[in-house]
Structure 1
Amino acid sequence: MPLPIVGTLFYSGPPLHVLHDDYAKQGRIDDRAPVVAAAEVDVDAPPATVWRLLSDVAAWPSWNTDIKSVTLDPAVAVDAAFHWKNGASSIRSRFAVVAAERELTWTGVSTGIRAVHRNTLEPLPGGGVRLRSEESMAAPLIGVIFPSGVLQRSLRKWVEQLKRTAEAA
């Protein structure tokens, strides 16, 4: 059931450990969060190529112009931590799902904002893969400062840049 507008304005979501274990690891974002968006694109490249680019987290800045740096602690694995800078935001994240050629999901926190970001890969008949990226963000007043439309544009850019890089590989 949707939250009333006042509840949405001040909704901070579940604690980060609950968001990580009970949402992200279970294949879902926080659909009650005030900021929610998704983007998908069909990529004319094998799932292995898309997966290689997506799971090589340290190399994200090479194909995503918004990402400035990534520090991985120690590798891409469930519950492993990584720190990254996306635009002006410094984000502390942990992987929740690492399923080769199927899903890479993490939770993250930045200045009190708690997020779940899921990326799923679906093989297409005849080759290629459908890449879907979805995210939820929760914090008091986040919807006023960073509305869903802004997140939507960011996710669209994420999938389009990944598509372009995978298809050129």
Structure 2
Amino acid sequence: MPLPIVGNLFYSGPPLHVLHDDYAKQGRIDDQAPVVAAAEVDVDASPAAVWRLLSDVAAWPSWNTDIKSVTLDPAVAVDAAFHWKNGGSSIRSRFAVVAPERELTWTGVSVGIRAVHRNTLEQLPGGAVRLRSEESMAAPLVGVLYPSRALQRSLQKWVDLLKSTAEAA
């Protein structure tokens, strides 16, 4: 059940370790967060091809110009850390789910905003794959500064760019 608007305005969500272990690792975002969005697209490429792009985080800036840099420590693995710049935000993240050709999920924090970002792949009949990206963001006033519709646009751009890159390969 959604929180009342005033309560949601100041909702900060669970601590990051709880968000990581009890939400992200369990296949869910924080649906009580003030900023929540999802986007999906069908990609005319194999799950392996989409997975290669999605899991090569160091190469994200090559297909998504909003991402300026990614530093991975040491590799894409559950609980491994990575730091990246997306737009004007520097984000500290940790992988929660690394399931090749099925799911890549991480948690992250930037200027006090705690997020869960899930990417799931579903094999479709005929060889294509459905890519779904969903995210929650929680911090006091985050919904005023960065509303769900802005996150929706960002996620749609993410899946569309991944689709066009995978299909061009």
- Report deviation, 1:106: 0.0
Matching residue of 1:120:
120
Cα distance in 2 between the residues matched to 1:78 and 1:62: 24
Cα displacement string for residues 71-120 of structure 1 (whole angstroms, at most 9, x for unaligned residues): 00000000000000000000000000000000000000000000000000
Q: Tell me, what secondary structure is at the counterpart of 2:134?
A: strand
Q: Any idea what SS the aligned residue of 1:154 has? A: helix
For residue 98 of structure 1, what is the aligned residue in structure 2? 98
CA RMSD of aligned residues (A): 0.3
Q: TM-score, normalization: structure 2? A: 1.00
Distance of 1:131 and 1:33 partners within structure 2: 22
Q: What is the percent sequence identity of the aligned residues?
A: 89
- How many pairs does the alignment contain? 169
CA distance in 2, matches of 1:46, 1:14: 36
* Cα separation, 2, equivalents of 1:98 and 1:64: 21
SS of structure 1 residue aligned to 2:143: helix
State the partner residue of 1:155: 155
By how many angstroms is 1:5 displaced?
1.0
Describe the SS at the equivalent of 1:52.
helix
Offset, 1:65: 1.0
Counterpart-to-counterpart distance in 1, 2:146 and 2:126: 39
Deviation at residue 122 of structure 1 after TM alignment: 0.1
Aligned to 1:82: 82
Please state how far the C-alpha of 1:28 moved relative to its aligned partner.
Answer: 0.1
Q: Supply the distance in 1 between the matched residues of 2:37 and 2:5 (Cα, whole angstroms).
A: 18
**Residue 13 of structure 1 aligns with which residue?**
13
Match of 1:43 in 2: 43
Question: What secondary structure, in the 3-state scheme, does the structure 2 residue paired with 1:161 have?
Answer: helix
Deviations 1:15-50 (Å, cap 9, x if unpaired)? 000000000000000000000000000000010000
Structure 2: which 5+ residue stretches go unaligned?
A: none
Does the residue aligned with 1:130 lie in a helix, a strand or coil?
A: strand
* Map of 1:31 onto structure 2: 31
| Distance in 2 (alpha carbons) for counterparts of 1:100 and 1:143 | 33
5+ residue gaps, structure 1, are none
Question: Could you tell me which residue of structure 1 aligns to residue 109 of structure 2?
Answer: 109
Q: Structure 1 residue 12: deviation in Å?
A: 0.2
Q: Distance in 2 between matches of 1:81 and 1:60?
A: 16
- TM-score, with structure 1 as normaliser: 1.00
